[in-house]
Amino acid sequence: MAMKSKTAKQKIKKPWGGRFSGGTSQAVEAFSESISFDKRLWKYDIEGSIAHAGMLGKQGIIPKKDAKLIVKGLMRIATRIAEGGFVFREELEDIHMNIEAALIEETGEAGKKLHTARSRNDQVALDLRLYLRSEVKETIGLVGGLKAALVDLAQRHREIIMPGYTHLQRAQPVLLAHHLLAYAEMMDRDAERLLESLKRINVLPLGACALAGTSLPIDRLYVAELLGFDAVSANSMDSVSDRDFVLEFLSDAAILMMHLSRLSEEVVLWSTEEFSFIGLPDAFATGSSIMPQKKNPDVAELARGKTGRVYGNLMGMLTVMKALPLTYNRDLQEDKELLFDTVDTVKSVLDVLAQMLPVINFRTERLEETAGEGFSTATDMAEYLVKKGMPFREAHGVVGRAVLYASQKGKRLEDISLDEYKGLFSGLFDKDVFQVLSPRASVAAKKSLGGTAPSEVARRMAAHKKEKEKKKKDKKGK
């Protein structure tokens, strides 16, 4: 039996309904609507419309009194939305038409003039830029918060030594603070990337109209000034058809989440019985529904896992954009859910990690104890021989043989006697060799710029703190 497609009840006339004699299929309405998710742009849509109406009035494109009525009407609508008294209608497709229709209901003839010299194509690009500008700033703040938690944690554990790893095998002793501050450096670069992207986000697309600009005497520079944009887009076709600013954020977010997933992975590893480096407080762990003894690091696992959707959103958006001909295509509506999901995900992960880090309980004895295991100061012994005049490659071989000898005897390097060192390995050994073998001496000696010596780590920590103070001052000064 052939199905007849149902058409929606045309209670509300579509703003674009003029050239149509029939209604839209209900299936199409449900399929193409974006109001269910783009309603979160309402504040920016209204902010943009207020600036646009002001410009139309100033330019004499619409009467000044109409511009005033529009602005007042939009403000009333904003209050209604904020208070939850606004009904969003699917048949009006998206946030732009929902608000415009409400404005016309509210102000009559005046409201019908708002969409002069504007298209939803430049309007949606504007809303998205305003939204992202605000979210990027908030995300930068959250990255700063997580960084502050890392610096604080490093400061509190500045004396503690732990094993540093390569290939997940114990490699050389390092300061726990040095390890934590490695993530602080990553957070700095993530914040910097986001900050730099603002330059490209903060460009006004409005005035591009559908794709070609307009014959009406608009003043785009004025709108840019009202909305706090640094620049006005230079090409109307580019303005409505590209979303590279969204892609840039999704890329920056993917890199940021990659960093957070590494930190999370270490929290997971360190909390295992096998590592036993940290304990998680009850508030940040969860249990098992069957195994009564379990205490699981679910927060870190979820943070690690959510990296997948953030990568996915980037790939999704790259794929939406790929080979899209100029200019606007409805495909672009797919940008929003991907962007919103990444914004929400990244913010929630940053927030929860910043809350969890300060309450992680480091098992400092275990960290110190394991720092010296696994011949972790063998490189220090090789550098000792270098200082006595032996070429490094030769010293590497000598110490390698000493490690083999000690491990076969089930001993540590410091348990081999000076006579054995001298007789079996090299005449350059002296009793001062034993001084370089402790993890604390090893760490203290790594004074090269950016190394793990307490003096170097303290220098970097001070720089982080100074920077934070400076940011605080700059914020106050503004």
**261 an active-site residue?**
no
Q: How far is the CB of 245 from ligand ARG (least distance, A)?
A: 15
What burial letters (b/e) apply to 143-167, b meaning 16+ CB within 10 Å?
bbbbbbbbbbbbbebbebbbbbeee
- Report the half-sphere exposure of 75 (CA within 13 A, side-chain side): 9
Quote the CA–CA distance of 18 and 38 in Å, as a whole number. 25
Q: Choose which of 263, 332, 395, 453 interacts with ligand ARG (CB under 6 A).
A: 332
For ligand ARG, the closer CB: 124 or 303: 124
**167 an active-site residue?**
yes
Contact code string over 100-129 relative to ligand ARG, x by CB under 6 A: --------------------xx--x-----
Q: Which residue has the tokens 């249990």?
A: 287
Q: How far is the CB of 330 from ligand ARG (least distance, A)?
A: 6
Q: What is the 3 state secondary structure string of 400-422?
A: HHHHHHHHHCCCCHHHCCHHHHH
For ligand ARG, the closer CB: 265 or 337: 337
Query: Who contacts 316 (Cβ-Cβ below 8 Å, separation ≥6)?
Result: 334, 338
Q: How far is the CB of 285 from ligand ARG (least distance, A)?
A: 41
Burial of 340 (0-12, 13-18, 19+ CB in 10 A): middle
Q: Choose which of 49, 172, 333, 426 interacts with ligand ARG (CB under 6 A).
A: 333
Quote the CA–CA distance of 231 and 229 in Å, as a whole number. 6
Chain positions 28 to 67 lying near ligand ARG, rule: CB under 6 A, are 34, 38
Q: How far is the CB of 210 from ligand ARG (least distance, A)?
A: 7
Q: How far is the CB of 226 from ligand ARG (least distance, A)?
A: 22
* Cα–Cα nearest to 52, from 109, 119, 7: 119
Q: Does 330 bind ligand ARG (CB under 6 A)?
A: yes
- What does the block give as tokens for 436? 């370089």
* Cα–Cα nearest to 146, from 271, 297, 306, 257: 257
Looking at 34, 197, 233, 288, which residue is catalytic? 288
Looking at 167, 215, 289, 417, which residue is catalytic? 167
Quote the CA–CA distance of 219 and 204 in Å, as a whole number. 12
Q: How far is the CB of 269 from ligand ARG (least distance, A)?
A: 42
Q: Choose which of 94, 242, 266, 380 interacts with ligand ARG (CB under 6 A).
A: 94
Q: Give 175's strand partners.
A: 161
Q: Choose which of 42, 44, 229, 328 interacts with ligand ARG (CB under 6 A).
A: 328
For ligand ARG, the closer CB: 238 or 414: 238
For ligand ARG, the closer CB: 243 or 363: 243
The residue ranges that bind ligand ARG (CB under 6 A) are 34, 38, 94, 120-121, 124, 328, 330, 332-333
- Known catalytic residues? 167, 288
